[in-house]
Amino acid sequence: MDALVTTEWLANELGANDLRVVDATYVLASDGRDPAAEYEAAHIPGAVFFDIGEISDLTNPLPTMLPPPEKFASRMQSLGLGDGSRIVIYDNSPYRTAARAWWMLRIFGAHDVAVLDGGFAKWQAEGRPVESGKPQHRHRHFTVWADDSQVRTLDQMKANVDSGAEQVLDARSGPRFTGEEPDPRPATHAGHIPGSKNLPYKQLFNDDGTWKTGDALKAEFEKAGVDLSKPLVTTCGSGITAAVLLFGAHLLGNEAALYDGSWSEWGADMSTPKATGSA
């Protein structure tokens, strides 16, 4: 299974014994939406709801941080996602949150995982079937495991400012990156991690909401000043849209890491250096 699959491919595979479909729509409280209620009203047949806000470390004051491996495995088992499953993730979010769920699943040991190109919007636009309600799931075994090689911590990012060993790429908008626009979080500086580059995540998509691929996708990274043959770490406001850049890099053969605390942590920490202006 490719990392990016089409609606046509998924429609043909629906009902396969080993296939699991996941709705990973996540939005901000300020968006005034309820993704869980939207999922119950309409979802791809057989899909389960992956609650990114709840499947996180709720003891951490930072938003949507990775949960402990035991919690993640428990939640996946209760959703019927287990070892040996082929998992296709979609979303209906402006933040393209399927990429975050894709990254999380891979961190915690699931490897046959894909993102649905165009998401739920494309599926619906094509008149494909949907269902409502909350399906019952048979628990499946999900092995407790975590590989943190694709996760970066505050201390690692501080060390990287000095060493420059890894390129850092920020998914936030240009004005947020440069500091022209204040950060929406209280007591959080504006600006970016010194030495980082900026590639607003929306630039990785075509006008119809599908992913750019091949040379068109590669061009976006190159315009941002990124060398995809070298190590890369992605960052954003809270670790959500950073996963979009990470997934895009994966499509081009670069296995990037993600700074999970992102600007929520760096921007509020008094000990970190902050830069403003363009990269």
Tokens (6 digits) for 174: 């240009």
Q: How many CB atoms lie within 10 A of CB 10?
A: 19
Instruction: Report which residue type is found at 55.
Output: I
Give the DSSP H/E element, type plus range, for residue 34.
none
Give the DSSP H/E element, type plus range, for residue 258.
strand 257-259
Q: Which of 100, 99, 108 lies closest to 76, judged by CA?
A: 108
Give the DSSP H/E element, type plus range, for residue 221.
helix 214-223
d(CA 218, CA 222): 6
Q: What is the DSSP string of 132-168?
A: -S--------------GGGEE-HHHHHHHHHH--SEE
Pairing, β 151-152 against β 197-198: unpaired
Tokens (6 digits) for 264: 């929520």
Tokens (6 digits) for 43: 């979802």
Annotation marks residue 2 as catalytic: no
Instruction: Report which residue type is found at 38.
Output: E
Which residue among the candidates 48, 55, 105, 236 is catalytic per the annotation? 236
Residues annotated as part of the active site: 236
